[in-house]
């Protein structure tokens, strides 16, 4: 195992009905909230009005900032940050999936930043401080509710880069699987692929080794695939939706790859370029790229890919088959599942 450090300062509430905690948990942090949301699904479902009501019911003044797009843009985040400064916002509340949470983290950092926040995305300096963030998650995919990352598209330069800072960890994240029951088929599947990509890319390319992390990733992938198939058959399967939501959180929290050391996320990097250029859904790019990334790493990482084939897809190679042949069978089965 390689050395690693762990720091997760987020208070997490998981379970059906936990949405009810939103108002009280936010009120403990601040009394003037910017409520960040997406392009209308939360409004149409009634969730946004419910969230605003829960906040108001605890004495929190609410200012709404809707309209976050998939592949969230920098410009609207900067406008929202300026609004925070003008109105004395004390806490950001994000209601949505990964794009909304990424935008909210950027707003939180930019609101207290004294310069050009894009320099942080370019790696030229670090975030010094950020407004506190509360998240109410509506999609199992990115795991942004329990990590310090934000991915944003600079629409002026065409660059899609990441911010990484402990200051943008959510103070509180609420994961209520009931909120995902109406998520359509396509974003459910794309989310499932994203979950597995977060765990698998590190698993495949790790310089170090950890039996516990290996088993965690392998079992996580099996649970994701099984739960996704259950949800596609019965979208209202709350238990399967719950499993997907928890897998999403764990996959990108750092625990699934503890002890791996340096690792590479080729699929994510290429996917960001594709989504920045063609405005594609993040999960859509990964579903096409991830099997190819696995094939690319055959050679240097053949033993790990063969292990994945045996443990996840139960590939039983014959005594005359090489490790590479076993690995290729596993990749083919994974490609078939992604399709």
Query: Nearest-5° angle of CA 203, CA 120, CA 140?
Result: 45
| Bridge partners of residue 73, in order along the sequence | 153
Instruction: Using DSSP, state whether 83 is helix, strand or coil.
Output: helix
pLDDT at 331: 97
Distance CA 181, CA 212 (A): 31
pLDDT at 339: 82
pLDDT at 232: 97
pLDDT at 175: 98
| Bridge partners of residue 95, in order along the sequence | 136
- Asked if 202 and 253 touch (Cβ cutoff 8 Å), the reply is no
Number of Cβ within 10 Å of residue 331's Cβ equals: 22
pTM: 0.95
Sorted by sequence, the CB contacts under 8 Å of residue 331 that are 6+ apart come out as 291, 294, 295, 298, 305, 309
User: Has residue 292 got a pLDDT over 80?
Assistant: yes
Average pLDDT on 190-217 reads 95
Number of Cβ within 10 Å of residue 295's Cβ equals: 15
Distance CA 226, CA 60 (A): 41
Identify the band that residue 299 occupies on the pLDDT scale cut at 50, 70 and 90: confident
Residue 105 has which token pair?
């983290």
User: Has residue 37 got a pLDDT over 80?
Assistant: yes
Task: Give the domains, in start order, of the chain with CATH numbers.
Answer: 11-179 (3.40.50.1970), 185-338 (1.20.1090.10)
Instruction: Using DSSP, state whether 255 is helix, strand or coil.
Output: helix
Measuring CA to CA, how many Å separate 23 from each of 26, 57, 130, 253? 5, 7, 21, 25
Mean pLDDT of the chain: 95
Distance CA 193, CA 287 (A): 6
**What pLDDT digit, counting tens, does each position of 218-243 carry?**
999 999 999 999 999 999 999 999 99
**What pLDDT digit, counting tens, does each position of 82-126 carry?**
999 999 999 999 999 999 999 999 999 999 999 999 999 999 999
pLDDT at 102: 98
- Asked if 82 and 131 touch (Cβ cutoff 8 Å), the reply is no
Cα–Cα nearest to 285, from 68, 69, 37, 71? 71
pLDDT at 83: 98
- DSSP-assigned letters across all residues of 133-153: EEEEE--SSS-GGGSSEEEEE
Distance CA 102, CA 281 (A): 14
Q: Which of 133-147, 164-178, 248-262, 316-330 has the lowest mean pLDDT?
A: 316-330
């Amino acid at each position: 195992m390689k050395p690693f450090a762990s720091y997760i300062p987020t208070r997490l509430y998981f379970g059906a009905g936990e949405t009810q905690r939103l108002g009280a948990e936010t009120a403990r942090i601040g009394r003037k909230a910017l409520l960040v949301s997406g392009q209308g699904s939360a409004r149409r479902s009634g969730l946004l009005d419910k969230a605003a009501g829960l906040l108001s019911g605890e004495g929190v003044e609410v200012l709404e900032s809707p309209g976050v797009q998939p592949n969230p843009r920098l410009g609207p985040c900067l406008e929202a940050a300026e609004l925070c400064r003008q109105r004395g916002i004390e806490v950001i509340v994000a209601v949505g999936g990964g794009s909304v949470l990424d935008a909210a983290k950027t707003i939180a950092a930019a609101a207290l930043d004294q310069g050009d926040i894009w320099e942080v995305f370019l790696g030229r300096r670090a975030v010094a401080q950020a407004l506190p963030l509360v998240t109410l998650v509506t999609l199992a995919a990115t795991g942004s509710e329990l990590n310090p990352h934000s991915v944003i598209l600079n629409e002026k330069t065409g660059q899609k880069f990441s911010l990484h800072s402990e200051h943008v960890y959510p103070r509180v994240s609420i994961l209520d699987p009931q909120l995902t029951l109406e998520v359509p088929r396509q974003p459910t599947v794309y989310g499932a692929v994203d979950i597995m990509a977060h765990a698998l890319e590190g698993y495949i390319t790790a310089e170090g080794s950890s039996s516990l992390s290996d088993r965690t990733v392998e079992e996580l992938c099996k649970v994701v695939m099984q739960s996704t198939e259950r949800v596609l058959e019965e979208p209202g399967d709350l238990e399967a939706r719950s499993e997907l939501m928890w897998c999403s959180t764990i996959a990108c929290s750092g625990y699934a790859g503890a002890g791996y050391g340096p690792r590479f996320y080729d699929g994510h990097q290429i996917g960001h370029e594709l989504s920045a250029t063609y405005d594609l859904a993040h999960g859509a790019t990964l579903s096409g790229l991830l099997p190819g990334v696995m094939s690319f790493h055959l050679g240097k990482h053949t033993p790990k890919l063969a292990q994945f084939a045996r443990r996840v897809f139960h590939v039983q190679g014959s005594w005359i088959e090489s490790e590479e042949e076993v690995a290729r069978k596993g990749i083919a089965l994974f490609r078939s599942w992604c399709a």
